[in-house]
Every structure is written in structure tokens, then in C-alpha cells.
Amino acid sequence: MRFLKYIHLYVVIALLIFLAIALSVSFEAQPVNAATPVDGQDSPQLSTCQTIPLSELAQDTMPVPEFCIGGLCKLTLFTNTILGAFGPGYSLEVYYAQVDTTSNPWYGGPNTSLSGVAFSDGYGYNGNGIAEGIFLWGTTSDDGYFRIMDDGPDENIPDLWTIESRPSKSLTQASLQVCALPGTQYSGIITSSQTISVPEFCLDDLCMILRFSYADIGAFGPGLSFPVYYDQDSWDNSWIAGPNVNLGGMDFSFGGGQNGDGSSEGIFLGGITDGGGYAKLYDDGLEYSSDNWSIDFSNGDDLDLIFYYFVPMVCTKQTISQAETNFDMPAYCLDSLCTILRWTDAWFGAWGPGFSWPVNYIQRSNTNKWIGGPALCIGGQCFSHGKGLNGDTSYDVIYDGSLTSSGTGYAILVDDSEIASETAPNKWNITFSPKDDLTAASFYICSNTCQETIFMINNNFLPLFSR
């Protein structure tokens, strides 16, 4: 009996050794091309991901999201490392619209370089075999990068994008959000001064305005501009807009005015081309109606045409009226990307009264960790700190906004505040100090519908999945 017991023991040990060897073989990662979307869950497992060796340049394809063909969409990329002046977090937004015709032209932007990164080549033809940059972004200090091209060496299909990437030691996490912009209105081609109707969705709600041209304007090449945001009050026709800033030789908005009062105030100024051309969008000028806008257009030597996209936004507005304001985080910021804009009546560095640039944010429901961005300071204004944990005892800055001229005025959005007794994972806090010319501020928190592709990079492989 004792002999049989030892025989059984040896059999069990042999089976365990065999099982361990089998598992080590079956779990060995097999390199494949990068950027091939694979179904995944909220908590991805490496065994369900496709992988690529870090030592090689990754190049493969992904489908163009359907809502980007025949419609306008926006893209923002999260990376966990520094690129140029951008810290870990989401990038600034890039815009893309592919026309559903035989030649498959697309219009994108902004076509500029800013703070050490580039954005878009501005326009191209998807499927013509010429690689044009849809989202170029930047390169890390150790040569890691991620970019999206319309075509590549092995791909010239109009409903595909080519993904080029190079992992590095610093670039270990990345995720791409591509968001639909439904309800967008196209202005049509504009070649002369004229009036246009104010879109109804810009009344008592936030809307976004993008402008396209083929001309060079300051540091901006042909393509879509950075956006201007606009909100007109239907009661007295006063409006607020922004950003009220000049960047790279392009001025954007006056920041506010009253439509129909007979005074021409700039909603979207847009700079002057190298050849003296311009297309400026005013509230009044050629007309004095609260229902219309005026476009002042001059060809100069190089501006043949422009067009606008007017985009509705679905937002919750949080007006600030006290030093500490605790409020519920919108449910659509949980496991989905939301967009946050701040409006103030004050100067912050080179940024005048009006809306500033957007910050994007997503909080994971299983951990309450969040990522945001851009993590950038420019022209005396800062935006997001890039990441945090909502519901702990320390505050992480979702929207910074910087300080007024004396360094004492501010309106800052944070995830937690012990001073205000707010440490809940489903709440936010706004801290407000009305000093200098700062007397009023508000935050607009807007929902999105996005397709997310996540890259989980470790020291050996670049797994990827889409959700």
C-alpha cells in the first residue's frame, strides 16, 4: 500500500510538470502586426491582445470609423509620457471629415506645429497611395511615437487608415479616442462677403465653429483651424465665445458681444493669409439682425475659398457663485469621454475674457482613476494635470486655468477638496477666487460618443484592443 501511495504521488508530480510546460508554451506571446483592433473588456487581459516586438516599427491598418465618412469627427490621443511641452495626458483635438465620393477627399486640422508636436497635414485623398498625416502628434525623447496616416506602403484603401508607431521605454500607455460630431452643419463654399444664419443650436447652447482654407495663415497651413466656441443668449442676444487669443499669427475671437446691436464684433477672426486674404466672421456688419452673422471676405493673392463647420454640443453648465462649489460629476464622464470648457470674464496671461481651450476627461468606474488633458501651459494659461484618483483625500486638478495678473484670482476644477469636505468619487469641486478683473466664471461639461482604441505597452510587446 505504501508503494502504491508513492506511485500515485509520482504520477501527480509528473502531471503537474507536464501541465506547467504546456502552459508556458501556450502563454508565449506571438508577435503580430500592431494596430489590429481586437475585442476587449474594461479590464484587458494580455492573453486576449495582439502583440508586436518593441524593436520594430509597427505599421498596420484600422478601419476609418463610419461616422468620419460623410461626417465630421474629432480625435484625441492619450499617452503616458512627455511629448514636446505636453505632459502625460490627452492631446489637443484633431478634426477630420472624409467626403464619400469617388476620390475620397478628406479635410482635417489644425495643420500646425505647437509646443513641440504637430497635428495634421490638413487635407488629402484617402486611397490614392500617398501618405498624408491625419494625426501626426509628436516623438518622445527616446524616439517613441504614434501617428495616423490616410495611406501607407501596404495600404491605399479609402475606408482604412494606416497606423504607424514605435514603442519606447517611456511610451508604455496610449489610447485613441475618435468621436462622432452628429448634427454638424456645413456652410458651403464661401468666396465672397455674405451673410449666413445663426444655427439654432448656437442659441442658449454651446456650439463649436471650425473654418477651412487652402491658404497659409501665420504658422497654420491649409486645413481646419483650431475651433472657436460660441453661446448666444436668445433673451437679449448677447453672446460669449472664445478663445480670445492670438496664437501662431492667427487671432480667434473677441470673446463676447451682442448680436444685432449694430456693432461689428468678431466671433471668428481667423488671421490674414501671407497674400493679404482674410475671412472674418462677425455678429453684425453686412446686416444687423440677431438671427444672422456677417462674413467679411477678401481674396488677397492666395485665398480662393473657405468653408465652416458648425457643430452642436450637448453640455451641462455649472455657473460659479461662491468660493467653494461641490457638484455631481456628470454620469457621462464615467467610462466615456467628456469635454470641459471654462468661460471667464478675465485675462489669464495672453488669453482674454471668453472660452478657453477644451479639456477632455474620462473616469474609470472600476477604479475611479481618471485621465485628462492636454497637460500643457501656453501663453500664461494651463489646462489639465493629466490624471488623478477621484474620491481620495488629495485633490488632482482637472482644469487648471492658471492665475490672474496678481496671482490671486482663479477658477479651478478639481476632483476632491478636503477644505470643502468633498472626497466622493462621483463629485467634483470648483474653487473660485474673484480677484483682479475676475468676477464671473462657468464650466461647460459636454458629452461625446466615441470609439476608443487602447494600446497597453510593456517592455516586450505592444498589445492593442478596441472598444
Q: What is the DSSP string of 342-355?
A: EEESS-BTTB-SEE
> What mean pLDDT comes out for the span 205-229?
97
Confidence of residue 463 (pLDDT cuts 50, 70, 90): very low
Same domain, 332 and 276: no
Cα gap 344→338, rounded to integer Å: 20
Last residue of a domain, one of 182, 212, 244: 182
> 187 pLDDT exceeds 60?
yes
> What mean pLDDT comes out for the span 405-426?
94
> 189 pLDDT exceeds 50?
yes
Identify the pLDDT of residue 166: 81
> 39 pLDDT exceeds 80?
no
Same domain, 52 and 172: yes
Report DSSP state, residue 286: S
Residue 271 lies in a domain: yes
Of the candidates 364, 365, 342, the one whose C-alpha atom is nearest the C-alpha of residue 355 is 342
Residue 462 lies in a domain: no
Retrieve residue 414's grid coordinates. Answer: 478639481
Same domain, 291 and 371: no
- Cβ atoms of 412 and 428 within 8 Å: the answer is no
Model pTM score:
0.86
- Cβ atoms of 60 and 36 within 8 Å: the answer is yes
Same domain, 208 and 294: yes
Same domain, 154 and 210: no
Same domain, 56 and 152: yes
- Looking at per-residue pLDDT, the higher value among 282 and 153 belongs to 282
Residue 61 lies in a domain: yes
Cα gap 460→467, rounded to integer Å: 23
Give me the phi and psi of 429, to 5 degrees please: -135, 140
Residue 147 lies in a domain: yes
Retrieve residue 175's grid coordinates. Answer: 489610447
Identify the pLDDT of residue 369: 97
Same domain, 138 and 59: yes
Residue 224 lies in a domain: yes
Retrieve residue 389's grid coordinates. Answer: 484618483
Report the range out of 80-89, 224-233, 389-398 with the highest average pLDDT.
Answer: 224-233
Lowest mean pLDDT, pick from 20-29, 59-68, 229-238, 342-351: 20-29
Number of helices (H), then strands (E), belonging to the chain: the values are: 1, 40
Lowest mean pLDDT, pick from 54-68, 90-104, 199-213, 238-252: 54-68
Last residue of a domain, one of 164, 182, 200: 182
Same domain, 336 and 297: no
Identify the pLDDT of residue 456: 56
DSSP 14-44: HHHHHHHHHHHHHTS--B--S----B--SS-
Identify the pLDDT of residue 465: 52
> What mean pLDDT comes out for the span 153-173?
88
Residue 17 lies in a domain: no
Identify the pLDDT of residue 165: 82
Task: Give the range of the structural domain holding residue 58, as residue numbers without chain letter.
Answer: 46-182
Give me the phi and psi of 305, to 5 degrees please: -160, 160
Same domain, 210 and 307: yes
Confidence of residue 145 (pLDDT cuts 50, 70, 90): confident
In which residue are the cell numbers 481667423 written? 270
Same domain, 297 and 347: no
Identify the pLDDT of residue 455: 65
Using only C-alpha atoms, what is the Rg of the chain?
25
**Mean pLDDT value across the chain:** 86
Confidence of residue 154 (pLDDT cuts 50, 70, 90): confident
Contacts of 314 (CB under 8 A, 6+ apart): 205, 446, 447
Cα gap 188→210, rounded to integer Å: 13
Identify the pLDDT of residue 51: 31
Residue 50 lies in a domain: yes
Cα gap 238→261, rounded to integer Å: 9
**Percent of the chain having pLDDT more than 70?**
85
The continuous run of DSSP H or E covering 230 comes out as: strand 228-232
Q: Would residue 380 be called left, alpha or beta, if left means φ above 0 and alpha means ψ between -120 and 50 degrees?
A: left
Same domain, 64 and 132: yes
**E strands in 110-159:** 113-114, 117-118, 123-125, 133-135, 145-149
- Counted domains in the chain: 3
In which residue are the cell numbers 458651403 written? 188
Cα gap 400→405, rounded to integer Å: 15
Identify the pLDDT of residue 453: 83
- Cβ atoms of 229 and 241 within 8 Å: the answer is yes
Of the candidates 57, 44, 97, 106, the one whose C-alpha atom is nearest the C-alpha of residue 74 is 97
DSSP 45-93: -GGGSBB-BTTS-EEEEEEPPGGGBSSEEEEEEEESS-BTTBBSEEPPP
Alpha carbon of residue 350 to chain centroid: 22
Last residue of a domain, one of 312, 340, 372: 312
> What mean pLDDT comes out for the span 92-114?
96
> What mean pLDDT comes out for the span 381-395?
94
Beta strands 354-355 and 338-344 are: antiparallel
Residue 40 lies in a domain: no
Same domain, 226 and 329: no
> What mean pLDDT comes out for the span 168-180?
88
